[in-house]
Structure 1
Amino acid sequence: MDKPILTIFYQFNPWRSSIGGIQTVIKNFVKYAPEEFAVRLVGTGDDPRQPIGKWQEAELAGKAIKFMPVLYIENDNVRKLIPTTIKYTAALFGRQLASDFMHFHRLEPTAAALNWKGEKTLFVHNDIHKQISSQSGKDAIAWRYLPAAYFAIERLLVKQFTEVLSCNTESAKLYRERYPQIADKVKYVKNTVDNEICYPLTWDEKERERLNLAEQMGKSEETKFILFAGRLHPQKDPILLVQSIAALNNSNVHLLIAGDGDLRDKVSSEIDRLGLQNQVTMLGAINQNELAKLQKICSAFILTSAYEGLPLVVLEALACGTPIVTTRCGETPNLLSPKSGVICEERTPVAIADALGRILYNPRDYPIEACVEAAAPYSAKTVVGDIYKDMLERWQQRSSLSKNQHLTSLTGVSP
């Protein structure tokens, strides 16, 4: 029996350090794909010598895949005048890339797939309706200016999906309410964390690595590190993040910002304005393994977001034994316990600084074991494995039915 083919569609180059949890989720779906599946990835390229629109044999996360870039994107961490999603969607039109299973991580590209045969799954990573209503400013999601147009496109496209999988319970609920005709296809799905990369150190190991990092950076032995990782975008509100460090007013606290994006220059200016040059380091985009090293040794991971789904970096930090400070948005507050993080009821520098202080000054109240326990249900090997298991069962049922129908047509007798 031939292997079922899964084709994953997303606007990124998997061999470059780009920012976003979606990229890591996709890599988990490649890494933990069972041998029964053949996996293809339709993405972007950044080398003009790379042929566009041609399948190439490649390896990703230790697995052999087929990869097709459909356009060139030199740096997908910074938005251009025409959004990358629109360019990527346009590049898909006129192509025939259907397969047994197709995974989409943005709605817009599915417009090119309306007539493609095969199972289509839409992964919803953010609460798009909150994004559209966000008041985050001119750099927020472009659909905020055309909400009626977005919802009209959404109504047209959602009918084609076999499944809509959301990592945000509120978003899943909203999809069921807005589209009752597909309500039974909308499901909550856990986001994923790779425990082979994200795992905790002991308290002694963590302390030793913290001291090593402080020495490497020329900081005092008393320095405690706070980590943020993500796109520097109004959704994440990195300006509020920097202001919270100023409000904490502790010279022995150092913020590490792993990420890049449209607000990079504004964040740098805010650091200068607040005189935090010695307390904040902007690392730029770093790969998953480098990020995991930091997640294991920092005292806290922080999110000051205006809206979220379930950020993968939260699960990674928890799996590394690091507690979370977060605003009350997205799915994160639902998975934290009083021993694995602090939820800020107000999105203000003072409230966030107070939450950070609770963890920094009472670290034993947030034990490594409690953090790891909070992330345990989100193991990529388990979550991804279960999704593939369901896919394989459906494919086998279809194959068996097709075989029986073929035999009936040949013999006139039902098997």
Structure 2
Amino acid sequence: MSKPVLTIFYQFNPWDSSIGGIQTVIRSFIKYAPDEFVVRVVGTGAPGSALGVWKWTEYAGKAIQFMPVIAVGEDNVRKLIPTTIAYGASLMRHNFASDFMHFHRIEPTLASLNWAGDKTLFIHNDIRKQMDRNLGGKAILWQQFPKVYFALEKLLISQFEQVYSCNSESAQHYREAYPELAPRVAFLKNGFDPESFYPDKREEREIKRRELAQELGLPETVRFLLFAGRLHPQKDPVLGIQAIAALADPQVHLLIAGAGELEEQVRREIQALNLGDRVTLLGAVNSDRLAQLYRAASAFLLSSVYEGLPVTVLEALACGTPVVTTDCGETPKLLSPDSGVVCKERTAEAIADALRRVLANPDLYSSEACVRTVQPYSAPSIVQEVYRQMLHRWQYRKAIAISSPYPS
């Protein structure tokens, strides 16, 4: 019996240091794919690379097929013409019909309307808040045209066999907005990779904190806070910097791991608040470096306007690092009282107060509590359950086709 084929669609290159939870989720679906499946990825290539050609290659020890359909340089910064539009337009020139197809943005699925196969849509944000201009009118272009977006969504969403949302409120929204599709809509946890993100013993954390301080030319007694993510209006890194100013503790240093369109604004804010010696911009970092930063930090800071379920939160907790977050997305439902603090007010002062509480009481926010909180979010078990359900549907359809006296 032949293997079922899964084709994953997203505008990135799995081998590049592209920032984002979507990219991390896709990488998990590649890495932890069972051998019963053939996995293909339709993504992007470097400028000058061959486009529109399948190539067998390897990712995380898995043999996969990869096809870049557009060339992209720096993809952590938005372009004048959104990459999603260019990527979706390129799909129009192909037919990628497969046993299974995974999509992580709905716009490119305009191309897939007539493709045969079992299609799944992953929703990565709370779409209602994402479309609310009062919550950050520059976050995505669709905020300027919400009626057009929802009309497009209504046109496209019926083609999906399964709609997964990593945000429970968003999943409920889709059930209510499309009652005929309600049985196909489900909440699906995002996951962390336990092979990369795990805790150190307290003594090892201290050693790595001191080593990082030495590496950055900082006093050995400094304590680190970590912000990791795209420098984008949704993530609001400027609010995080303002919180460091409100914290007013020269022994606390903020590390910002990420890149994006707000980098210059972030730099100006650091300069305006005279925080040059208390904030370090690290740029985009790979997963190994990010794991080291989580384990050296006293707390992880999430200052987002809206979210789905941030993978960075899961990774930080898995490394034993408590989380201070704004009241957004699924994180407030995930955190326990001993693994982090949710700020009910989205202000620099409220975030500073929460950071102060965590820094002053490390024993109340232990590494063990953080790991215990995040344990149900291990990527291998989450991903393999999705594959198990896919394989069941594929085998059922094969059995029906064999037993039917009529051609399908």
TM range (shorter): over 0.9
Deviation at 1:401? Answer: 1.1
Aligned twin of 1:334: 333
- 2:296 & 2:353 partners in 1: Cα distance? 21
- TM-score, normalised to structure 1, is 0.97
- 1:367 & 1:73 partners in 2: Cα distance? 42
Deviation at 1:219? Answer: 1.2
Aligned twin of 1:371: 370
For residue 148 of structure 2, give the secondary structure of its aligned residue in structure 1.
helix
Structure 2 portions without partners, runs of 5+: none
Deviation at 1:281? Answer: 0.5
- 2:61 & 2:363 partners in 1: Cα distance? 38
* Counterpart amino acid of residue 167 in structure 1: C
Deviation at 1:134? Answer: 3.3
- 2:288 & 2:103 partners in 1: Cα distance? 25
Deviation at 1:57? Answer: 1.0
- Listed one character per residue, the Cα deviations across residues 76-96 of structure 1 (whole Å, up to 9, x for unaligned) are 101111111111111101311
Q: 1:328 to 1:113 in 2, by over 3 A?
A: same
- Asked if structure 2 preserves the Cα contact closer than 8 Å seen for 1:59 and 1:65, the reply is yes
Aligned twin of 1:33: 33
- 2:343 & 2:291 partners in 1: Cα distance? 25
Deviation at 1:404? Answer: 1.4
- Asked if structure 2 preserves the Cα contact closer than 8 Å seen for 1:227 and 1:258, the reply is yes
- 2:159 & 2:71 partners in 1: Cα distance? 28
Aligned twin of 2:215: 216
Bigger mean CA offset, 135-144 vs 260-269: 135-144
Aligned twin of 1:315: 314
Deviation at 1:72? Answer: 0.5
Deviation at 1:392? Answer: 0.5
Spell out the pairing of 1:8-407 with structure 2 (5 A cutoff).
8-48=8-48, 50-137=49-136, 139-405=138-404
- 1:229 & 1:307 partners in 2: Cα distance? 15
- 1:176 & 1:402 partners in 2: Cα distance? 31
* Counterpart amino acid of residue 381 in structure 1: P
- 1:36 & 1:24 partners in 2: Cα distance? 22
- Asked if structure 1 preserves the Cα contact closer than 8 Å seen for 2:303 and 2:326, the reply is yes
> Is 1:2 paired with 2:2?
yes
- Listed one character per residue, the Cα deviations across residues 180-233 of structure 1 (whole Å, up to 9, x for unaligned) are 010110000010110010000011111111111111111112100000111111
- 2:321 & 2:246 partners in 1: Cα distance? 22
- Cα RMSD between the aligned structures? 1.0
- 1:54 & 1:217 partners in 2: Cα distance? 43
Q: 1:61 to 1:134 in 2, by over 3 A?
A: farther
- Asked if structure 2 preserves the Cα contact closer than 8 Å seen for 1:244 and 1:349, the reply is yes
For residue 113 of structure 1, give the secondary structure of its aligned residue in structure 2.
coil
Bigger mean CA offset, 124-133 vs 262-271: 124-133
* Counterpart amino acid of residue 9 in structure 2: F
* Counterpart amino acid of residue 121 in structure 1: T
- 1:294 & 1:312 partners in 2: Cα distance? 15
- Asked if structure 1 preserves the Cα contact closer than 8 Å seen for 2:137 and 2:143, the reply is no
For residue 111 of structure 2, give the secondary structure of its aligned residue in structure 1.
helix
Structure 1 portions without partners, runs of 5+: 411-415
- Listed one character per residue, the Cα deviations across residues 317-345 of structure 1 (whole Å, up to 9, x for unaligned) are 00000000000010000010110000001
- 1:128 & 1:57 partners in 2: Cα distance? 36
- 1:312 & 1:221 partners in 2: Cα distance? 30
- Asked if structure 2 preserves the Cα contact closer than 8 Å seen for 1:32 and 1:384, the reply is yes
For residue 233 of structure 1, give the secondary structure of its aligned residue in structure 2.
coil
The runs of at least 4 consecutive aligned structure 1 residues that moved more than 3 Å come to none
- Listed one character per residue, the Cα deviations across residues 380-413 of structure 1 (whole Å, up to 9, x for unaligned) are 11000101011111101111111112xx359xxx
* Counterpart amino acid of residue 38 in structure 2: A
Deviation at 1:47? Answer: 3.6
- TM-score, normalised to structure 2, is 0.98
* Counterpart amino acid of residue 86 in structure 1: I
- Asked if structure 1 preserves the Cα contact closer than 8 Å seen for 2:129 and 2:135, the reply is no
- 1:279 & 1:19 partners in 2: Cα distance? 24
